[in-house]
Amino acid sequence: MNEQRLIKRILAGDAAAERALYDDHVDRIYRLTYRMTGDETLAEDFTQDTFIRAFDRLQWFEGRSALSTWLHSIAVSVVLNGLRKVKRFRQRETALDETTGGGVVGKSGDPELKRSLHRAIDELSDGLRLVFVMHDIEGYKHQEIAAILDVPEGTSKSRLATARGQLRDCLTQPDSRSIREERL
């Protein structure tokens, strides 16, 4: 359905139109919030919050960007603000990975690489992790990322390069924890 028509119907109070907007975008937004939080409850929370805010502000949407871009901007804001509130979340998630990931061969076939890489991704700042997750994991294009984050496309590329560089540095450094475990 044409975006403008959908928005008009939503603003007129059409419940089916609201649900259509939700169905069109919920999967992608949920995937993004889950990738950033790694927690089902938080991902649901942030996804819900995104749509509640979007419906509340829809009357001020001017159509200068795609509706999807606008929705993702709200989702990014909700996630980043929410993560600041739950600071210790990522440390708990890393601990869980360490205790439950041993000996499991994932699709990559290298559990140690997976553990190290995931730990390294957790260590990235929220901003760098967001761009890395969006581009390298979820497949967003730089043009879309730049529009969502309201930054130049060059900034999106630069942040991604910085994130990749930090990840490579983490992976090439000897992992003192795993070496200790092997010795034991």
Q: Give the one residue of 3, 20, 22, 61 binding other proteins; rule: CB under 8 A.
A: 22
| 170 is a contact residue toward other proteins (CB under 8 A) | no
Nearer Cβ to other proteins (55/61): 55
Q: How far is the CB of 63 from other proteins (least distance, A)?
A: 19
Contacts (CB under 8 A) with other proteins, residues 50-69:
51-53, 55-57
Nearer Cβ to other proteins (129/149): 129
Q: How far is the CB of 3 from other proteins (least distance, A)?
A: 20
| 87 is a contact residue toward other proteins (CB under 8 A) | yes
Q: Please give the single-letter amino acid code of residue 80.
A: L
| 117 is a contact residue toward other proteins (CB under 8 A) | yes
Q: How many C-alpha atoms does 81 have within 13 Å on its Cβ side?
A: 10
| 136 is a contact residue toward other proteins (CB under 8 A) | yes
Q: What does the H/E/C string look like for the chain? A: CCHHHHHHHHHCCCHHHHHHHHHHHHHHHHHHHHHHHCCHHHHHHHHHHHHHHHHHHHHHCCCCCCHHHHHHHHHHHHHHHHHHHCCCHHHHHHHHHHHHCCCCCCCCCCHHHHHHHHHHHHHCCHHHHHHHHHHHHCCCCHHHHHHHHCCCHHHHHHHHHHHHHHHHHHHHCCCHHHHHHHHC
Q: How far is the CB of 64 from other proteins (least distance, A)?
A: 19
Residues forming the site for other proteins (CB under 8 A):
18-19, 22-23, 26-27, 30-31, 34-45, 47-49, 51-53, 55-57, 81-82, 84-89, 92, 106-108, 110, 113-114, 117-118, 121, 132-133, 136-137, 157, 160-161, 164-165, 167-168, 171
